[in-house]
Amino acid sequence: MIFVIVFVVCLVLGVPIFVVLGVPSLIELLNSPIPLASLAHSLFDGVDKFPLLAIPNFVLAGAIMSRAGITRDIIDVMRSVVGEAYGGLAIVTILSCMFFAAISGSGPGTVAAIGTLLIPAMKDDGYPKDFAAAVASSGGTLGILLPPSNPMIVYGVLASVSIGDLFLAGLLPGILMGALLIGATWFLSRRNGYRGESRPFKAKEFASNLYKAKFSLATPFIVLGGIYGGVFTPVEASVIAVVYALLVGMVIKRTIRLADVWETLSEATTICGGLILIMGTAIFFGEFLTLNLIPQKIAASLLTVTSDPIIMLLIICAILIVLGTFMETLSTVIILTPILLPLIKQLGIDPIHFGILLVVTSEIGFLTPPLGVNLFVACGISGLSIEAVSRRVIPFIATIIVGLLILLFFPQISLFLPSLN
């Protein structure tokens, strides 16, 4: 009981997530006969996970590629593809976010890389600034669904699920979600008359941009192709991504200097340093959940409501959407995976399918205040208030929820590619 009370109080106070996970567990440990040394063992075991090495490398690779001008190459190619469609530049934003997502593994990172260039461009092209910010923040959510995805790596470690299979499982849902967001962007643009500049498709221009961007566009194919082809593991792929990004930036394009490399290292360290503390305390937290049979008690309580897997997933997804408005994505994954996974397995739901649903609900959290990280990044770029962008992003949230329901009712979309592996 003390464990639960302290945990809830820490959450309400808004203390750092490693404190939320560690303090209740430590209090429980002090009131038990278990030696205190087990805390040190858990903290070490929490970070002594080989797959976690992929996260800082993918973050670093994304930061290098952003500074190397690879983002600009992606945008030029996508812009030559779309042509005269309604919302053309807005659709380019979604497509560019999809492609950059296959490099960075980060939602806010994708918004920052693509939005910095395209939010001002959309404004200059006649789009309302709040609509431009909403499109960029929504497209950025694909950063954690399309592989490589940092939350998927963390979920794979905690759930003991193959990260390669999770990456495969995220591919079709990511394409589906991107297509739905493009559809919503086109519909809203047509309804409001957002056409922008008239740029008819020209095969020669497309071929020219494609050739210029060949090294940039090859990045996700090298990284993901190597993983799916069995050439290297996700961790090895993350190292390949860093090396290739440096090669393109420093040797081929010559847009990266040593000072830029130092800045990207600092950025990756800042982003990933906190993960070490969180993962260590997460393992510690999970052990005490198991010791106190909390997952089993929660599962028993929910099973009194229904034992139907679909209805249970609907309930869980609704809870996750609400929690996502107050909790950061990795925190949601780290806290809820050990709690919900036993229930998921008990109902016969594939853990890989559940992992995809968990990530998609986290996408919604990126767009909902007060903790909508993508919104804050887009607001910082556009100079708008969070309220203005929040109103504009509602149709895109509804679109993601539609995609979530499709994935929930048709798990084959998530499980088809892993089943071929």
164-209 pLDDT, tens per residue?
A: 899 999 999 999 999 999 999 999 998 888 876 556 677 788 888 8
- Closest by Cα among 154, 170, 200, 115 to 334: 154
Residues 6+ apart with CB under 8 A from 72: 117
Tell me what the pLDDT averaged over the chain comes to: 83
pLDDT tens string, the chain, 421 residues long: the values are: 677 788 778 777 777 777 877 788 788 778 777 777 777 777 776 667 777 778 788 878 878 887 887 777 888 888 777 766 778 888 988 988 888 887 777 778 788 878 888 888 888 888 899 999 999 999 989 888 988 888 898 899 889 899 989 999 999 999 999 999 999 999 999 888 887 655 667 778 888 888 888 888 888 888 888 887 878 888 888 889 889 889 988 888 888 888 888 888 887 777 677 667 777 777 777 777 777 777 677 777 877 888 899 999 999 999 888 877 777 787 788 888 888 888 899 899 999 999 999 999 988 888 887 667 888 888 888 888 888 888 999 999 999 999 999 999 999 999 999 998 7
Q: Give, to the nearest 10 degrees, the angle between helix 258-291 and helix 294-303.
A: 70
- DSSP H helical segments within 52-162, as ranges? 54-67, 70-82, 88-104, 107-124, 129-140, 150-159
Label residue 128 left, alpha or beta by phi (over 0 means left) and psi (-120 to 50 means alpha): beta
For residue 408 the two structure tokens come to 């929930």
- Residue 7 in any domain: the answer is no
- Global pTM? 0.82
Question: For residue 189, with 0-12 CB atoms within 10 Å meaning exposed, 13-18 middle and 19 or more buried, which class applies?
Answer: buried
Q: Fill in the amino acid letter for 81.
A: V
Residue listed under structure tokens 């190597």: 226
C-beta contacts of 289-298 below 8 A and 24+ residues apart? 289/338, 289/339, 290/338, 291/28, 291/32, 292/3, 292/28, 294/3, 294/4, 294/339, 295/338, 295/339, 295/340, 295/341, 295/342, 295/343, 296/342, 298/339, 298/340, 298/343
Label residue 254 left, alpha or beta by phi (over 0 means left) and psi (-120 to 50 means alpha): left
- Which range of residues forms the domain containing residue 286? 13-420
| Domains identified in the chain, total number | 1
- Residue 3 in any domain: the answer is no
d(CA 344, CA 192): 43
- Residue 143 in any domain: the answer is yes
CB 109 within 8 A of CB 61: no
- Residue 5 in any domain: the answer is no
d(CA 239, CA 352): 25
- Residue 302 in any domain: the answer is yes
SS3 84: coil
d(CA 340, CA 360): 16
- Residue 136 in any domain: the answer is yes
- Residue 2 in any domain: the answer is no
Residue listed under structure tokens 């229904």: 306
- Residue 171 in any domain: the answer is yes
